[in-house]
Amino acid sequence: MSRFLVENLPIVDLKKISRIAYSDNRGYFSRIYCGNEIGLGDLFGKVVQINHSHTISAGTIRGMHYQNSPFAEAKIVTCIRGTIWDVAIDLRKNSPTFLQYHAEVLSEENKCALLIPKGFAHGFQALTDDCDLIYLHDEVFHEGSESGLHYQDTIFNIGWPLPVTEISTRDQTHLFITNEFQGV
Known catalytic residues are: 65, 135
Helix (H, G, I), strand (E, B) or coil at 101: strand
- Supply φ then ψ for residue 171, to 5 degrees: -70, -30
Alpha-carbon gap, residue 141 to 67, rounded angstroms = 8
Q: Which of 8, 4, 62 is nearest to 36 (CA)?
A: 4
Vertex 148 angle, CA 170 and 130, to 5°: 60
